Amino acid sequence: MIKKFVVGSFEDEKDLFPAVKNVRRAGYKIHDVYTPFPIHGLDKAMGLRETSLHTAGFIFGITGTSIAVGGMGYIFTTDWPLNIGGKPHFPLPAFIPITFELTVLMSAVGMVYTFLWLCKMMPGVKKHHFNLRSTDDLMTMVIECTPNSNPLEIENFLKQNGAIEINTQDAEEGWWFGRYDKEQKLYRAEEVALEE
């Protein structure tokens, strides 16, 4: 969906934290803060909840354990009970290595896919970049405008809090398939073109 955003960037995380606090206190809605590296505590300052990605990892891991024990048990006791040197058909200690490996494998692969799904990331996905320097050296704060808000007022507010490179952008907030060597395209512009 196309929305209007006010964008301001910070050079130092020491300015960013008070700014986040002030923006939230003033009642503006922070769309997101884009940073070139993980800044600890920023998620808490922005009021984001803790991620439950690790729960997904646990569930995938348990699935791997069950598949390994269940699968090997079924194969060796029911499907095709081979006599291997007179050894037992359900030797649990001998199953441990494969069970462990499958647990780790399922958990890791499952978690990475969950991560990519939640972040909407895959090859060819394109998202709007508010400031290209936000993967280099700037921390870019993006404030979402409501119908009632005055972008100029927000811009001034950001300036008072030490932001640089302040501007207002119309941007697509979701993701789409596209190429990075093409111009930024807005969905709204295309829709309007179709209606004509």
Partner 1 sequence: MSLLKYESQLREPLIDGDKNYHQLTEDIISPVETKPNRLWWIGFSIAVALLLFGVYSVYREVDYGIGQWNLNRTVGWGWDITNFVWWIGIGHAGTLISAILLLFGQKWRTGVNRAAEAMTIFAVMCAGQFPIFHMGRVWMGFFVLPYPNSRGPLWPNFNSALLWDVFAVSTYFTVSLLFWYTGLLPDLATVRDRAKTKFRKMFYGLASFGWTGSTKHWQRQESLALVLAGLATPLVLSVHTIVSFDFATSVIPGWHTTIFPPYFVAGAVFSGFAMVQSLLLITRKVLHLEDYITIGHIEAMNKVIVLTGSIVGCAYISELFIAWYSQNTYEWWAFRQNRVNIFSPYGWAYYGMMFCNVVSPQLFWSRKLRRNVMFTFFMAVLVNVGMWFERFVIIVTSIYRDYLPSSWTTYYSPTIWEIGFYLGTFGLFFVCYFLFAKYFPVIALAEVKAILKLSGESYKDKMSGMEEMSTDKFYAEEVEAHAH
**Is residue 57 within 8 Å of 110, Cβ to Cβ?**
yes
* 14 interacts with partner 1 by CB under 8 A: yes
* 115 interacts with partner 1 by CB under 8 A: yes
Which residues are CB-contacts of 92 (< 8 A; sequence separation ≥ 6)?
A: none
Enumerate residues 50-109 that contact partner 1 by CB under 8 A.
Answer: 50-51, 53-54, 57, 61, 71-72, 75-76, 79-80, 82, 84, 87, 91, 94-95, 97-98, 100-102, 104-105, 107-109
Q: Helix (H, G, I), strand (E, B), or coil: what is residue 183?
A: coil
| Least distance to partner 1, CB of residue 31, Å | 9
Among 26, 62, 116, 164, binds partner 1 (CB under 8 A): 116
**Is residue 6 within 8 Å of 143, Cβ to Cβ?**
yes
* 26 interacts with partner 1 by CB under 8 A: no
| Least distance to partner 1, CB of residue 166, Å | 19
**Interatomic CA distance for residues 87 and 36, integer angstroms:** 57
* 40 interacts with partner 1 by CB under 8 A: yes
Q: What is the CA radius of gyration of the chain?
A: 25
